[in-house]
């Protein structure tokens, strides 16, 4: 069964950390050091966080893609709110490291079999 990717347009800067993404050749070219080309044309696996500016359009499976949000605390926000956001960001960062470690281990295992 083929996965269905949904089309999105960014309304703010977006950072994607892991998953599959559909990009045009023009979008993919400057990010190829962080992407792995899949068999299907225009489909890529995200190997390292990639960023998109406002107004960019791309396709992804929201259930299989990890967003790495990097938000700054607004001036005047309560310290408690800022600490909550820092904890959430730390959890996201931890998950990114775990996913990268698993991906590296799988790649190493695959390479060792060859």
Element containing residue 82 per DSSP (H, E):
helix 79-113
Three-class SS state of 112: helix
- Give the mean model confidence (pLDDT) for residues 69-90: 55
Q: State the pLDDT confidence band at 111, using cuts at 50, 70 and 90.
A: confident
Band (pLDDT 50/70/90 cuts) for residue 110 is confident
What pTM, to 2 d.p., does this model score? 0.55
Query: Does residue 78 surpass a pLDDT of 70?
Result: no
Instruction: Of 26, 21, 16, 51, give the one whose Cα is nearest residue 36.
Output: 21
Given a contact cutoff of 8 angstroms between Cβ atoms, the answer to whether 9 and 57 are in contact is yes
β-pairing, 57-60 vs 6-9, is antiparallel
Q: Domains of the chain: which residue ranges?
A: 1-70, 71-114
């Amino acid at each position: 069964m083929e996965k269905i990717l949904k089309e999105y347009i960014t309304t703010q800067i977006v950072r994607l950390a892991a998953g599959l993404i559909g990009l045009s050749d023009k979008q993919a070219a400057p990010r190829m050091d962080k992407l792995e080309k899949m068999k299907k044309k225009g489909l890529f696996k995200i190997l390292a966080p990639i960023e998109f500016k406002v107004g960019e359009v791309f396709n992804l499976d929201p259930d299989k893609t990890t967003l790495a949000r990097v938000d700054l605390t607004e001036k005047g926000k309560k310290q408690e709110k800022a600490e909550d956001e820092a904890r959430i960001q730390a959890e996201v960062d931890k998950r990114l490291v775990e996913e990268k470690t698993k991906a590296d281990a799988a790649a190493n295992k695959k390479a060792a079999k060859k």
